[in-house]
Structures are given as structure tokens and as C-alpha cells.
């Protein structure tokens, strides 16, 4: 398994060079502009809790590997409220018609979010506990790239807004970095695999990264199409100023 984990790390390094993350690291742009994709990932982020609860999790667990999966899912199935909290703090939580919101979530501009959710579900279906751990490892590494790139942006915006961004910032990143599966890397690495199984596990990881790449391109397209600028908090109102933007989650 050590070779599989090494392969996943190599895929992570290539993933980190995708255009979305290059833009997020571009210090010529304002942090709010580099985070302008945030509303676009709503469908996938809100679906991810269910993916953990109803697709990855299997109870009772048939073996120790599925139990490791179950423990991980219980750590990861409740992060979506933090996403909604930051959606409000960043100024994207605006009033509008329900039909506009539904059109945004199921429209063409967010199609890769829905495809990613559906195809991850398809990929996981019928897999063993150990295979699911491989899939989780790959998903975790995609998340580590995203949250690692968001972290300095969130920290800059927290100072500007005078509030904590729990999903984008250190609060979430530290919890993602401390997952049980991460702590069990040594145990996973010690598992012996034959050559055929090793290649099959690498292929599972490759598929995860292949599914996430179009999603990153969709987020980038959205960020470019809907630039945003976040002013500082207004001390007179003791609150956060409304985001100054040419778009909102309901006007995509």
C-alpha cells in the first residue's frame, strides 16, 4: 500500500498545479477575488455530508477497514453548516426567489458539481472497505490542496471583516489535517498488496483526481465570470459590510 499512497501524493502535486489553484496563489489579485468561486461549490459541499453518511458509510462494518471508513465519515459528515456560515459572512447569503436558487444549483454553470457528486457515488458503489480508504485518501488530498490554498485568503479576509471564517480558515483546516485516516497512514502503508491489486488501487485514486479536475475548472470559470471585492467591516454598525459584487448565489 505504501506505493499506492506515494502515487496519491504524486497525483496531489500535479492537482495543485491546476489553474484554479494557481489563481488562488496569485498575490496580484485581491483575496476576495481569489475566493470568488465560493458560492459555485455549494451543491457539492452540501452533498458531501450525504456522500459520507449514505454512500461511504456501511453499518454494521463488515471488517476493520470499513470501520476505519465509518470513523472518517463521522468526522466529515457535518462540515456543511460551516460552509453556510461563511457564505453569509462573505456576503453571498442574499434574499431571492426559491426558483432562482434551484436554477443556480441545477443550472449549466454548476453542472460539474452535480457530475462530481454522482460519479463519486458510482465509483464508491460496490467497493470494499480498503478500496474506500484509498478513495478517501485521494479525496482528502484534493481537499488538502483546496483548503490549503484557501487558508491564507481566509486569514486575510478574517482581518478585513473582523470575523472568523470557520469553513475557509484555520478552524476547518486544522480538523481536516487531523483526520483519523491521516493518523493511520503508517498502518495503511504496512499493508501488503500484490501487483494487480496495487495497480487497481492506483487506478481508483486516478479516477478520483480525474473527477475533481473538471470541477476545479468550473469553479475557476465562475470566479472569473463573477469577480467580488469585500470591503472592511463597518465599525459604526458593528457588523460586516455587505459584499460588493456583480453577482450573487441567486444571480449566477
Give the pLDDT score at 171.
Answer: 82
- The answer to whether the CB of 109 falls within 8 A of the CB of 217 is no
DSSP-assigned beta bridge partners for residue 239:
234
Please name the residue that has the C-alpha cell 466529515: 76
d(CA 228, CA 243): 7
C-alpha span between 69 and 86 (Å, rounded):
28
pLDDT of residue 138: 97
Dig out the grid coordinates for 176 from the structure: 481536516
C-alpha cell at 117: 457528486
Question: Is pLDDT above 60 for 180?
Answer: no
Question: Angle at the Cα of 136 (from 133 to 141), degrees rounded to 5?
Answer: 130
* pLDDT above 90: percentage of residues in the chain: 79
Instruction: Give the residue from 146, 198, 181, 184 showing the smallest Cα distance to 167.
Output: 146
pLDDT at 240: 45
Domain boundaries, the chain: 2-228+239-245
pTM recorded for the entire structure: 0.89
Between 232 and 41, name the one with better pLDDT.
41
pLDDT at 48: 95
125 contact partners, CB below 8 Å, separation of at least 6:
55
Q: What is the pLDDT of residue 176?
A: 73
pLDDT in the model for residue 185: 77
Give residue 241's pLDDT band: very low, low, confident or very high (50, 70, 90). very low
Q: What is the pLDDT of residues 86-134, one digit of tens each?
A: 999 999 988 789 999 999 999 999 999 999 999 999 999 999 999 999 9
When the candidates are 3.40.50.620, 1.20.910.10, 2.60.40.1930, 3.40.50.300, the CATH number that belongs to 2-228+239-245 is 1.20.910.10
Residue at grid coordinates 462540515: 79
Averaged pLDDT of the chain: 89
Amino acid at each position: 500500500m505504501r506505493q499506492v499512497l506515494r502515487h496519491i501524493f504524486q497525483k496531489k502535486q500535479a492537482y495543485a498545479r491546476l489553474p484554479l489553484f494557481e489563481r488562488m496563489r496569485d498575490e496580484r489579485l485581491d483575496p476576495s477575488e481569489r475566493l470568488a468561486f465560493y458560492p459555485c461549490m455549494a451543491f457539492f459541499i452540501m452533498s458531501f455530508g450525504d456522500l459520507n453518511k449514505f454512500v461511504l458509510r456501511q453499518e454494521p462494518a463488515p471488517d476493520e477497514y470499513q470501520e476505519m471508513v465509518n470513523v472518517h465519515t463521522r468526522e466529515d459528515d457535518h462540515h456543511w453548516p460551516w460552509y453556510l456560515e461563511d457564505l453569509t459572512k462573505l456576503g453571498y447569503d442574499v434574499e431571492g426567489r426559491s426558483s432562482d436558487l434551484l436554477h443556480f444549483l441545477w443550472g449549466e454553470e454548476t453542472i460539474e458539481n452535480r457530475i462530481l457528486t454522482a460519479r463519486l457515488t458510482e465509483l464508491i458503489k460496490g467497493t470494499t472497505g480498503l478500496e474506500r480508504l484509498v478513495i478517501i485518501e485521494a479525496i482528502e488530498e484534493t481537499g488538502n490542496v483546496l483548503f490549503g490554498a484557501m487558508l491564507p485568503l481566509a486569514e486575510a479576509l478574517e482581518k478585513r471583516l473582523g470575523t472568523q471564517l470557520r469553513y475557509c480558515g484555520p478552524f476547518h483546516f486544522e480538523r481536516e489535517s487531523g483526520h483519523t485516516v491521516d493518523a493511520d497512514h503508517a498502518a495503511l502503508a504496512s499493508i501488503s498488496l500484490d501487483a494487480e491489486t496495487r495497480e487497481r488501487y492506483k487506478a481508483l485514486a486516478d479516477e478520483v483526481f480525474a473527477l475533481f479536475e473538471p470541477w476545479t475548472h468550473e469553479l475557476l470559470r465562475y470566479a472569473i465570470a463573477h469577480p467580488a471585492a469585500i470591503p472592511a467591516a463597518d465599525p459604526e454598525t458593528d457588523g460586516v459590510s455587505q459584499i460588493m459584487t456583480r453577482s450573487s448565489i441567486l444571480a449566477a
